[in-house]
Amino acid sequence: MQQYTINKHIREYFKNADLQKISHTHIIDFRNHLLDKKLSNKSINNIISTLNKIFETAQNEEFIQNNPCSKIKKLPLDRKKMKFWRPEEFKKFINLIPDDQVIFKTFYALAFFTGMRCGEMLALQWKDIDRILMEIDVRKSATYLNKDFIVTLPKTKNSIRRISINRKLFSL
């Protein structure tokens, strides 16, 4: 769906344009047009990146001489400040879960004390837990896609890691 939206913006704005006559200034105007539509910087960067690939292909095929997107800088991304619970807030939360719901207490405790993503925890297997060193290997992630449970590589290369856990968490 996102790719369709990106193509729609490009198609609508450049529908009557001659590819060989689009300049760097046209691309800047297009970016400003997207900003006026109140799109996020991330969405605009994705759209410009797609447009850049189109012009790269046109240039490689020798349809155009220069890529008008080549010197367009990405818009800065807003980094939202992460919100997290303090230990006393987590304790209040975990105490709301009935004692017979151990699986949920374990899930939330693992998330809180390790910072693992939900998909990473769902993909864990017993072999990923080193019982001697009390460490967890994070090497995969799970998602539910089209009614299928799929295990894939984590979100980024840096997501592959080894996490030490304390005895209390290990016993859970």
Please name the residues in contact with 112: beta carbons below 8 A apart, sequence gap of 6 or more: 85, 90, 94
**What pLDDT digit, counting tens, does each position of 15-44 carry?**
998 988 999 999 999 999 999 999 989 999
pLDDT of residue 156: 80
Crossing angle of helices 2-13 and 41-60, in 10° steps, is 70
End-to-end CA distance of the chain: 41
Please report which confidence band the pLDDT of residue 8 belongs to, taking 50, 70 and 90 as the band edges. confident
Looking at residues 118-130, what average pLDDT do you find? Answer: 94
1-5 long-range Cβ contacts below 8 angstroms, 24+ apart: 2/46, 3/50
**What pLDDT digit, counting tens, does each position of 50-91 carry?**
999 999 999 999 999 999 999 899 999 878 787 889 999 999
DSSP secondary structure letters along 17-74: --GGG--HHHHHHHHHHHHHTT--HHHHHHHHHHHHHHHHHHHHTTS-SS-TTTTPPP
Cα gap 164→115, rounded to integer Å:
11
pTM: 0.56
**What pLDDT digit, counting tens, does each position of 99-121 carry?**
999 999 999 999 999 999 999 99
Residue 134 confidence (pLDDT) above 80: yes
